[in-house]
Each structure stands twice: as structure tokens, then as C-alpha cells.
Chain A
Amino acid sequence: EVQLVESGGGLVQPGGSLRLSCAASGFSVSDHYIDWVRQAPGKGLEWVGRSKNKPGHSIDYAASVKGRFTISRDDSKNSVFLQMNNLKTEDTAVYFCTDVLAQVDYWGQGALVAVSS
């Protein structure tokens, strides 16, 4: 069974940091783009960033997070990570990992990140 599981969410103060993990099972992340998508409370979906698969493993970010968020991957652990620094209240959202271009339904259950003092 194909599955993505996010972890690492929580409550953090403005200016703080948090690292989300996305663990895959049933398929190899090395064969896929992995995207991070977020959804603020009561709002729509927002694409956050992407880690491309081999050979380049290049990474793209949305303008709203560029310079603050970093995506990395560890193919040996079949996982992708989202390091979030200098968090702002507007980063409060449920964060999903997925492959938005997939032909199969690849979505994790989401991890809640709350940025508040």
C-alpha cells in the first residue's frame, strides 16, 4: 500500500524553527517528485515547495517561504524533510507531503504547525 506519513508538527513561537518529516512506504521517493503543500485554517491549498528526483534532486520554493524553508531528502530512509526557520504567524497551517503530478493518490494525513506567542 502506498503511504506518506508526516510528522514533526507542533506549536512554535514566531521566529522559531520546526522540522517536518515525510516518510514514504510502498514506493520509493527516489523515483518521485515530492511536494510540500499547506493549508491555513479555513483557507485553500498552497504549494510550498518541491524536491525533484534523480538525477539532479533540484529544489523549488514558493516565494512566500523562499529563504526561510529548506527541503531535503534522504533516499536511504525513503524520506523527505521540510526545515522551517524564522516562522511567522502566517505559516500556521496543516502541512501535507504529496506528489501533485502523480497519477496515483499520494497524500499524507498532514502535520499541524501552529505559530503563536
Chain B
Amino acid sequence: QSALTQPASVSGSPGQSITISCTGSTSDVGGYNFVSWFQQYPGKAPKLMIYEVTNRPSGVPDRFSGSKSGTTASLTISGLQAEDEADYYCGSYTSSSTPYVFGTGTKLTVL
């Protein structure tokens, strides 16, 4: 099972919006609504930001939103803030030989 494809890096200025894509296949992203997004600061554990494509856990700002179209899921951060600078990973249930796969990861830089 290959990793889901994410851009290696994205950047934006404070206040702007950015979108991170996560491309898979019909066996994972395109076939199920079990896509999650995780935020990770250097040296820290990942933190759940979005689950089941569009849902935010309690405490996650509504600046973070998720969506899906076909085999590509997306994480959008609006009103970008300096504290959003981190690595972001998508993950999805998959019907392949292993039941879960992560994305390749995206480094977000706030300019």
C-alpha cells in the first residue's frame, strides 16, 4: 500500500487561506469517508484536526475545514496564523492489505 500523495510544502501569509491536498485511490480516500488530518509540531505527537473528512474535534478552531472530491481530500486553513506553521498529514482507511495509510506529509510555512 503506497502512501497517499501530499505536496511537500505549502506557504501563505498571515490572514490568507491555504489548501493542502491528499490524493489516493478508490481503495482509500475515494471509497470511504474515513479521512483524517493531523497536525504535528517538531518533536511532538500528532494532533487530530479533522476526522471523517469534514468533522472537527472539540477545541479545533473552525478556521480548519476538510472536504473531499473523488479520490482527493483537502484541508483548508483560513485566516492563517503563525501558530499554524507545522507539518500536516492526512490518513485514510483502506481496503487494501493493510487497513490504514498516511499521506506523505506537508510542511506549512507561514510567511
Q: A100-B36, A103-B57 are known contacts. Are A44 and B102 too (CB-CB below 8 A)? A: yes
Nearest CB of chain B from residue A113's CB, rounded to whole Å: 15
Which B residues lie at the A interface, using CB under 8 A? 1, 3, 34, 36, 38, 40, 45-48, 51-52, 55, 57-58, 89, 91, 93, 97-105
Residues of A with C-beta under 8 A to B57: 103-105
Q: A100-B36, A102-B51, A104-B57 are known contacts. Are A44 and B89 too (CB-CB below 8 A)? A: yes
Residues of A with C-beta under 8 A to B91: 45, 47, 100
- Most B CB within 10 A of own CB, among A98, A102, A103, A109: A103
Measured between alpha carbons, how far is A98 from B105 in the docked complex, in Å? 18
Measured between alpha carbons, how far is A63 from B97 in the docked complex, in Å? 8
- 13 further interface pairs, Cβ-Cβ under 8 Å (given A45-B40, A63-B97, A107-B47): A44-B3, A44-B105, A45-B38, A45-B91, A60-B98, A101-B51, A101-B100, A103-B52, A104-B48, A104-B58, A105-B57, A107-B48, A108-B45
Measured between alpha carbons, how far is A95 from B40 in the docked complex, in Å? 14
CB-defined A-B contacts under 8 Å, sample of 7: A44-B3, A45-B46, A47-B98, A101-B36, A102-B51, A103-B57, A107-B45
Residues of B with C-beta under 8 A to A109: 45
- Most B CB within 10 A of own CB, among A45, A46, A60, A63: A45
Residues of A with C-beta under 8 A to B58: 104
A-B complex: 10 closest residue pairs judged by Cβ atoms:
A44-B105, A105-B48, A107-B45, A45-B102, A47-B100, A103-B51, A62-B98, A45-B89, A60-B99, A100-B100
**A35, B51: Cβ atoms closer than 8 Å:** no
**A50, B99: Cβ atoms closer than 8 Å:** yes
Interface residues on A, range: 20 to 34
Residues of A with C-beta under 8 A to B45: 96, 107-110
Measured between alpha carbons, how far is A46 from B89 in the docked complex, in Å? 11
Measured between alpha carbons, how far is A108 from B44 in the docked complex, in Å? 10
Residues of A with C-beta under 8 A to B38: 45
Measured between alpha carbons, how far is A109 from B57 in the docked complex, in Å? 19
Residues of A with C-beta under 8 A to B1: 63
- Most A CB within 10 A of own CB, among B1, B47, B48, B91: B48
